[in-house]
Amino acid sequence: MLRAILSRSSALRPSSFRPVALDFYRFKSTESKVMEEDPAPFKKIMAANRGEIATRINRAASELGVSSAGIYSYEDRFTQHRYKADQAFQLDRTKSPVAAYLDIDTIVKICLQNGVEAVHPGYGFLSENMKFASALERVGITFVGPTVGNLNTFGDKTLAREQAIAANVPVVPGSDDAFATVAEARTFIEDPQYNCSYPVIVKAAMGGGGRGIRVVLTAEELEPMFTQASNEALNAFGDGRCFVEKYVRDPRHIEVQCLGDGTGEVVHLWDRDCSVQRRHQKVIETAPAHGLAESTREAILGDAVRLLGGAKYRNAGTVEFLVDQEGNHFFMEVNPRVQVEHTVTEEISGVDIVQSQILLASGKTLNELGLTQADIPAPLGFAMQCRVTTENPSQDFRPDTGTIDVFRMPGGMGIRLDDGPGFPGAKITPHYDSLLVKITAKARDRKDAAAKLVRALKEFRVRGVTTNKSFLLNVLQNREFLTEVVDTGFIAANPYLLEPLREQDRAQKLLHYIGHIIVNGTPKELGAMGPPPSTVDPFVPVLKEPTPEQSPSLKQVFDEHGAKAFAKAVRASEGLLITDTTWRDAHQSLLATRLRTTDMLHIAPATKIALRNAYSLECWGGATFDVAMRFLRECPWDRLGALREAVPDIPLQMLLRGANAVGYTSYPDNVVHEFCKRSKEHGMDVFRVFDSVNYVENMRLGIDAVGGAGGIVEAAIGYTGDVADPNRGNYDLEYYLDLAKQLDDLGVHVLAIKDMAGLLKPQAATMLIGALREAHPDLPIHVHTHDTAGTGVASMLAAAHAGADAVDAAMDAMSGTTSQPSLGALVASTAGTSLDTGLALNEVSAVNEYWEECRGLYAPFESGQKSGSADVYTHEMPGGQYTNLLFQSSQLGLTGQWSEVKKAYAAANRLLGDIIKVTPSSKVTGDLAQFMVNNKLTEEEVIERAETLSFPKSVIEYFQGYLGIPPFGFPEPLRTKVLKGTTIEGTDGLTCFEGRPGADLSPMDLDAARSMLQEKWGDMDGSNNTIRDVDVMSHAMYPNVYDEYMEHKREFGKLSYVDTRTFLTGMEVGQELTVTLEPGKQLVVKLISVSQPNLDGLVSIQFELNGSPRQVQVKDQTRTSETIARPKALHGVEGSVGAPMPGVVLETKVNKGDKVKMGDALVSLSAMKMETMVAAPVSGVVTRVVVTANDQIDAGDLLVEIEED
């Protein structure tokens, strides 16, 4: 065995030293206590290479007591091989990154001026270059490698082949000489005397590493394949000649590691199997070869030793063979250098190959080193190596570049690491080989070695660049690889091996998100305009588990007996049933729908106890669906599933917009049916089905879809006007009774009154509910209202006394003003009476205390309302819209004009025909109101100028009938003026729909949508990305919003487990945060520092993650940029078309020179979910287009100029 030879480190440089290169670095080396009889082989040795092999050489030198010197290019100035050497010298900066390491003159000059006695070239670069070896020998510097003669023989594949034939080593039929042209190669192949017909393999005469090799199957392929191989070889090795061999199909690649001392003595260190290859480049290597017949092994070992012995080979070399399916072996080539995979041989032989190279180069013989063949034991177990590279297997192994954010190395028994350029903060450039680290495992057998590699790869963490880790894991866990003999076609025969690994990378993405918030603040679109979140964490009460009820709960009745039994149980229930809206409409009305799932789940255990006798918990649908994705970056389906799991025994309730599902437009019937089906499967029970204009045909689709899905159909009538006021208009008692009868005839399970604006006064409630109860004695009645005017509790009590079975309310802290009436007040008011809710005030109060503190977390979204306002009876704005519209108005530059917006809302309602106002009809009314205030339009001016105004898209679509037909028709002549005879895109000349707008829509191809989404998002990093049925539904409802959500998830990961304060405001320096990713997996995050922006605007943020340093860099988007002064439209000039409101340009529809007619689309704008198509106010020719897509514009900014006809 190899003796450890230690000696004093010679760290002093000659007194005449003058560094030849810039930026000389010196590192202190530790002197070793050595034995006098074992002097160091050299005083100083240079590793003339980079990356892991340079580090490997430096380590071997240190163990031998030899001082080490390194070289590095300018691009490599931060890589670790520089500082792993005792000294390091920069190469010529004027040369390219690769050419610097091939610069023989500069390297020799550095050696001479710095006392280098020997140079180890590693592999690649100059390792097989005779000129380099000769240049070193001429100046008395030892080349740690073969002799120049050896390099000449074995560096040229043609000469190596001749040497093999002379040594009686079997070779594949092929050319003795390398060819410079295709014609020469073709002549040889077609000559039958050479027995080398197609298929053949074209191989570069010089070099290795899989470069300059092409398989040629037919004569037609020869010219392009030979040309590619020749050009590749010329660029890589400076010699484009190639020779031709008979192609051996599906062979194994077996090689033998040898050491020679130049006297003719050669030993082998056993064999290696390198058959797992991609495009002739080795991927995973094992030693010894698995499943190789002993007779074949003995023949290969003997041939390798005889070949090199006959050449009096010196130093380390590898003889490579092909072994065919019958066990015949053929010589391929000799690699006259150390190889990447030498580590597996070291592990099974116990011989340090790099140290041996250095000692042999110093003149030692194998006998002196104790390396006779008899001294080398049989292989000690199995070793297996994999190369972790910065390549993307799913993208044809495309190299990746970037900055490494995280680099966590594995370890443990049986794992060896040969590390290269990887460390946190390292910049991976495109200039060099993509190798990050070699991981070698040693175990008693092949399977155990593979298991150790799998474990190590799973421990290994690299973030910031893509690696081939997934590919390696796929190979190492492949049954064929583990149990059978594989050949060089293994990877090509198993394309699934290239499938990417679904690494979640949750921690680093979380840090990036927190860093983004720290640097750039809460995203503006989130609407966090108020004070910061409270610093108080809400106290979560723990309620005592109640005694099990004797009678089944409403949820149990529904689950076991169905919706009709549920309705019957509701009617038979004593007292007043309560629906708690805190989880949906309450926060929509008060906090712009911004309540996050995590804050609901915290209180869910107490809620399921306190509200166990409730009618339902309203928690889903309506605006919460798109807001979850659009602003909260959550999946609404995941929210529903989590709430269902947390509260299993109380019915869950959602808001379904009839034919609009949870969107703002009509969808194909199959989409609505599929949506309801998936909602029911995900845990929904009660579907409150409504239509924004009480259009029964729209409701019918929703009712049928819910019924088909097996849900509880609660059909809701939108309430407006005042049935107690005979002068209010058409919305009288008869209207509501007639509508209720139509719904009852459709077979609904529950009838609801949906008073969106809080217009239902106590007297009106008594009249309406009393009349409905008399007309429908068996139908449960459920009443919903808002407390905007402060009469909510009184109205709900009046409704209950008149015969309502259930009413909506919200936890006290989330009630009042535009939200629902106080739940606690209703519980207390009815306690001990015939209307007793069955809820305990002390339990409800405990839950309410949580919401009192939790609401403080959402302070940024508070509207600023201090009290109720009776002017709701004038403007009739829905409570759920009030806060959202207030925020939108501020974003549109209408701050300070809220009173004008409310007045305009009432005017807009009249212009639209006095309609039911609930999403999406309420959005139409709000958009029109803001449009009027923005453009300073009166009600009369809207009618007069309607033909020339660019109305919001929602207003145009309303008049086109996209929402259905309002109860009393569309107002004329306004409708005709707005539509201007324009036909609806995608229809056969329709200017407006006459019935249900979605009735004629073709079914959506859901399978095609899934395939498209799978292709688009299926390879996204982070968790299991298989597109689910519910994901298809999210896309169907909101395709653009879903894409934005997925893009955000791709960048920042899942954020639902982040607490709300951090989600909104990030962290403070010194703050420590615990994040629970899942049960048993926690992250402890501490913010250490935040830098100032650098010249590129990047801010470096230092964290500690579970005690380890982590860094992220975030672009500072708040830095002021040059403001573009946009021209304004000329007042009074009709052809000077200005923006009707501030927003973002979505698309320009015209170009300079286009002819347009009055009403033609010019520019599409978007602001706060409100789209507007700016139309041509005159006919003429476009002379100027000022804006382009994504431009931010203000009201009045010039968009287009038209020269009138």
- Residue positions annotated with a catalytic role: 337
Beta bridge partners of 427: 403
DSSP-assigned letters across all residues of 471-491: HHHHHHT-HHHHHS---TTHH
CA 973 to CA 1129: how far, in whole Å? Answer: 29
Q: Which residue has the tokens 């390292």?
A: 426
SS3 call for 1200: strand
CA-CA distance, 448 to 485, in Å (whole number)? 16
What 8-state DSSP symbol labels residue 1125? -
d(CA 433, CA 253): 22
Q: Of 142, 140, 166, give the one whose Cα is nearest residue 154.
A: 166
3-class SS at 36? coil
Q: Taking a C-beta distance cutoff of 8 angstroms, is the pair 898, 918 a contact? A: no
Euclidean distance between the first and the last CA atom of the chain, given in angstroms as a whole number: 99
Bond preceding residue 920 cis, omega within 30 of 0: yes
Facing residues of 438 across strands?
387, 418
**Distances from the Cα of 403 to the Cα of 72, 390, 406, 427, 428, angstroms:** 19, 11, 9, 4, 6
- In this structure, what token pair is assigned to residue 592? 């712009």
CA dist 540 and 757 (Å) reads 32
Q: In whole angstroms, give the CA distance from residue 782 to residue 578.
A: 9
Hey, what's the torsion of the CAs at 1151, 1156, 1159, 1164, to 10 degrees?
0
Q: For the chain, what's the residue count? A: 1205
124 φ, ψ to 5°? 75, -170
Q: What does residue 611 show for φ and ψ, rounded to 5 degrees? A: -110, 25
Q: What DSSP line would sit under 1021-1039, residue for residue?
A: SSS--PPPHHHHHHHHH-H
Angle between helices 636-646 and 597-610 (to 10 degrees): 30
**Angle, vertex CA 1034, rays to CA 1029 and CA 1035, nearest 5:** 95
Secondary structure of the chain: what % helix, strand, coil (to 5)?
40, 20, 45
User: How far is Cα of residue 403 from the mean position of the Cα atoms in its chain?
Assistant: 18
Phi, psi of 601 (to 5 degrees): -65, -30
Contact present, 920 and 1038 (Cβ < 8 Å): no
Task: Enumerate residues 6+ apart whose C-beta is below 8 A from 117.
Answer: 42, 43, 44, 45, 141, 142
Cα–Cα–Cα angle for 846, 849, 854, rounded to 5 degrees: 135
- Cα dihedral sign, 699-704-709-715: positive
Buried b (16+ CB within 10 A) or exposed e, 464-488: bbbbbbbbbbbbbebeebeeebbbb
Structure tokens at 108: 């020799």
Strand partners, 255: 272, 320
> Which residues is 25 bridged to in the sheet?
88
Please state the φ and ψ torsions of residue 48, each to the nearest 5 degrees: -85, 60
Query: 1164, 1145 in Cβ contact below 8 A?
Result: yes
Alpha carbons 741 and 936: distance in angstroms, whole number: 43
Distance of alpha carbon 1073 from the chain centroid: 23
